């Protein structure tokens, strides 16, 4: 029988690997990725995934795994986006376009309350950027995860994670049980009943690996490739994150 994977230990290894590179004397980024913004965005997303995973680990160690689920979901979303940006040549357009569209929407709302020439000028600039980017790639989280798993099993896991963080029946069930001895037949729990806590920590660990892998691919010498590959094979989730080639801007 295969012994269970000690996810806390592996997650700490990944965090230590990241921390060990923070003060690296030099950082060489690939020049053949789809766009110059790609490694910058991947670095930011990976940093956020690391912070979320670190927070999730702290909650687990405080015996609050259910409260860590929003952070687990963040790790999944950051990692899927980082991999998508590396693997899809035109993903950078969709990513930047999405951000610009949200900015334009906010500016329109502001302009509706305050007809400021400055806001109007910024809105015009934002709309011009949107036209220039010409979003041509499906940027939904489902599509991003499909670059890792075409069968969409990972997306199904993501939806399950979403159900565990939103205000709905699934969350209520974590803190409510059945007790036929009580009036009404219900029992209220002081702590969440969360039998799949270890599996969800494993999910955070695997997705953090994907994020670190995407960032490693953005660097010319792939400084952590050997360690990440070894951990990935141990987890049984290793795959080759092939860099996208530079596209025409």
Looking at residue 199, its pLDDT comes to 97
- Judge whether residue 237 has pLDDT over 90: yes
Mean pLDDT over 31-42 rounds to 88
| 114 and 47, same domain (yes or no) | no
Residues 100-135: pLDDT tens digits? 777 777 777 777 777 777 777 776 776 766 676 666
* Helix, strand counts (H, E) of the chain: 10, 2
Residue 160 lies in a domain: no
- Rounded CA gap, 30 and 107, in Å? 35
| 13 and 59, same domain (yes or no) | yes
Residue 77 lies in a domain: yes
Q: What is the pTM of this model?
A: 0.86
Mean pLDDT over 67-89 rounds to 96
Looking at residue 244, its pLDDT comes to 64
- Judge whether residue 248 has pLDDT over 60: no
Looking at residue 70, its pLDDT comes to 97
Looking at residue 209, its pLDDT comes to 98
Looking at residue 207, its pLDDT comes to 97
Residue whose entry in the numeric block shows the structure tokens 């400084």: 223
| 81 and 146, same domain (yes or no) | yes
| 49 and 145, same domain (yes or no) | yes
Residue 2 lies in a domain: no
| 115 and 84, same domain (yes or no) | no
Structural domain that includes position 36: 7-19+30-90+138-150+195-235
Classified as helix, coil or strand, 181 is coil
| 42 and 68, same domain (yes or no) | yes
Looking at residue 17, its pLDDT comes to 96
| 64 and 143, same domain (yes or no) | yes
| 36 and 102, same domain (yes or no) | no
Residues 159-168: pLDDT tens digits? 999 999 999 9
b/e burial code for range 66-99 (CB count within 10 A of at least 16 → b): bbbbbbbbbbbbbbbbbbbbbbbbbbbbbbbbee
- Judge whether residue 64 has pLDDT over 90: yes
Residue 248 lies in a domain: no
| 102 and 128, same domain (yes or no) | yes
Residues 148-196: pLDDT tens digits? 888 899 999 999 999 999 999 999 999 998 776 776 678 888 889 999 9
Main-chain dihedrals φ then ψ at residue 178, nearest 5 degrees:
-110, 130
Residue 179 lies in a domain: no
| 74 and 145, same domain (yes or no) | yes
Looking at residue 161, its pLDDT comes to 96
> Which range has the worst mean pLDDT, 42-46, 76-80, 103-107, 160-164?
103-107
Number of alpha carbons in the 13 Å side-chain half-sphere of residue 118? 1
Mean pLDDT over 87-106 rounds to 80
Mean pLDDT over 88-104 rounds to 80
Contact of 107 with 100, CB cutoff 8 Å? no
Residue 245 lies in a domain: no
| 101 and 130, same domain (yes or no) | yes
Mean pLDDT over 227-239 rounds to 95
| 13 and 85, same domain (yes or no) | yes
What's the number of domains the chain is made of? Answer: 2
């Amino acid at each position: 029988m295969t012994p269970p994977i000690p996810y806390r230990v592996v997650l700490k290894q990944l965090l230590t690997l990241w921390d060990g590179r923070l003060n690296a004397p030099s950082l060489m980024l690939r020049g053949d990725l789809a766009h110059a913004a790609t490694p910058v965005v991947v670095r930011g997303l990976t940093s956020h995934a690391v912070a979320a995973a670190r927070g999730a680990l702290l909650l687990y160690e405080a015996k609050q795994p259910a409260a860590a689920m929003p952070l687990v979901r963040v790790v999944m979303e950051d990692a899927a986006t980082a991999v998508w940006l590396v693997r899809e040549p035109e993903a950078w357009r969709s990513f930047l376009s999405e951000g610009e569209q949200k900015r334009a929407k906010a500016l329109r709302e502001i302009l509706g309350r305050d007809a400021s020439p400055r806001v109007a000028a910024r809105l015009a600039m934002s709309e011009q950027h949107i036209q220039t980017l010409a979003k041509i790639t499906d940027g939904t989280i489902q599509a991003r995860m499909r670059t890792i798993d075409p069968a969409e099993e990972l997306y199904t896991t993501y939806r399950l994670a979403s159900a565990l963080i939103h205000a709905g029946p699934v969350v209520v069930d974590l803190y409510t049980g059945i007790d036929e001895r009580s009036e009404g037949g219900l029992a209220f729990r002081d702590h969440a009943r969360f039998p799949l806590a270890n599996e969800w920590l494993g999910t955070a660990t695997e997705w953090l690996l994907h994020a670190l892998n995407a960032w490693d691919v953005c660097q010319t010498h792939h400084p952590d490739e050997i360690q990440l590959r070894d951990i990935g094979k141990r987890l049984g989730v290793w795959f080759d994150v092939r860099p996208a080639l530079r596209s025409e801007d």
